[in-house]
Amino acid sequence: MKEILRITVGLTISCILAGLVMGAVFTMTDKAKKHNEQMDFQETMLGVLGYSGSNPAPSDLKFHSVYRYIIRDQKARFLGYMVPVDRAGKETYELLVLDLEGKLKGHYDVDISPAAAMEMPQREEALKRVLNPPNVFTFADSFIVAMLGSKRLAYLMPGEFPGFKTFIRVMLAVDPHFKIKGLDIMEQEEDPGLGGEIAQDYFKNQFIDKSYDRIKSLKVIKKPLPADYRTYLEREKGERHMPTREQIEKTQKKYADSDIYALTGATISSRSMTRGIKNMVKKFAYRANILDHVIARGNIPVVF
């Protein structure tokens, strides 16, 4: 009995000590970690828009986030879009509730600043004040509208879809006509050297500049990647001999409507990527059109 007690006390003390150490380190590093994550996200967003250290973003480039929620009451399901609005010169949020046919059922003021809205718990706290039980809501996804001055430059979509092994997380940028502007793989665990090549320029850049109509019928072809197309796709890397501007334009035109060339030995990863991107763009285009329609009809003072 004495032995058991001693073991219990010993284990408890070690657990408490370990917990204290981990807790202390967590409190010390949490702020820096969150800051890093935000910076990282920001950098990815600028990256897919084509801005980098050598090509800095203009100062009037602004990002506005829109959050999509699924709202349920006892009878039916609705869609809730949290959109940034301009209220007396101050940017705050409004919740648009749409039925499944895309008709506006109502809109509510959500008292939250854009910075606070980025944090999931604070956002949901603010939503709870607006949506009373029996309404329950679940977060679906978000997208970001990039504005250059008063013009819509692009929509940015963080998204994920299944790959060969596990989920592939990407950041996708499309222009207002849903043509792909940029694509970045944020997280993937495909086989290195095989499916892992999806993150390489010569594969992911194949998606860029594909128009919305082309994306709808995009498929994967199992043919070797033509050498001139590869040079074009990898032009930013600055290895191989650099193509001239004319060559770039020529190759771009030549392959503008081509399908996606599969990766050697990783057809499944190539197909998953193509399917994933296709779905993301198609669904987004559908939703964005409905949302724009609703905003225009309801005279919502959105900032984008």
Partner 1 sequence: MKTTKSPSQLVLNGLLNENPIFRLALSMCPAVGISTTVMNGLMLGVAVLFVQVCSSCTIAIIKDYIHPRIRIPTYTLTIATWVTVIDLVLSAYAPVAYKAMGIFIKLIVAFAIITMRLEVFACKNTVTKSFWDGMGMGLGFMFGMVTLGCIRELLGMGTLLGHDVLGFRPLLFFALPLAGFFCVGFMMAVFNYVELVFNRRKEKRA
Give me the residues that bind partner 1 (CB under 8 A), please: 3, 6-7, 10-11, 14-15, 18, 21-22, 25-26, 28-30, 32-33, 36, 39-40, 189, 191-194, 265
CA distances from 113 to 90, 131, 273, 303 (A): 9, 18, 35, 13
Nearer to partner 1, 43 or 124 (CB): 43
Nearer to partner 1, 155 or 261 (CB): 261
- Distance between CA atoms of 261 and 232, rounded to whole angstroms? 14
Smallest gap from residue 124 Cβ to partner 1 (A): 24
Smallest gap from residue 13 Cβ to partner 1 (A): 9
Q: What DSSP state is assigned to residue 302?
A: B
Smallest gap from residue 34 Cβ to partner 1 (A): 9
Nearer to partner 1, 99 or 191 (CB): 191
Nearer to partner 1, 80 or 163 (CB): 163
DSSP string, 162-228: E-SSSEEEEEEEE-TT--EEEEEEEE--PPTTTGGGGGSHHHHGGGTT--HHHHHT--EE-SPPPHH
Smallest gap from residue 132 Cβ to partner 1 (A): 38
Closest CA to 139 of 154, 126, 152: 126
Name the one residue in this structure whose structure tokens are 């309404």.
135
- Distance between CA atoms of 89 and 270, rounded to whole angstroms? 47
Smallest gap from residue 66 Cβ to partner 1 (A): 27
Nearer to partner 1, 129 or 222 (CB): 222
Nearer to partner 1, 154 or 262 (CB): 262
Smallest gap from residue 269 Cβ to partner 1 (A): 14
Helix (H) or strand (E) holding 72: strand 61-72
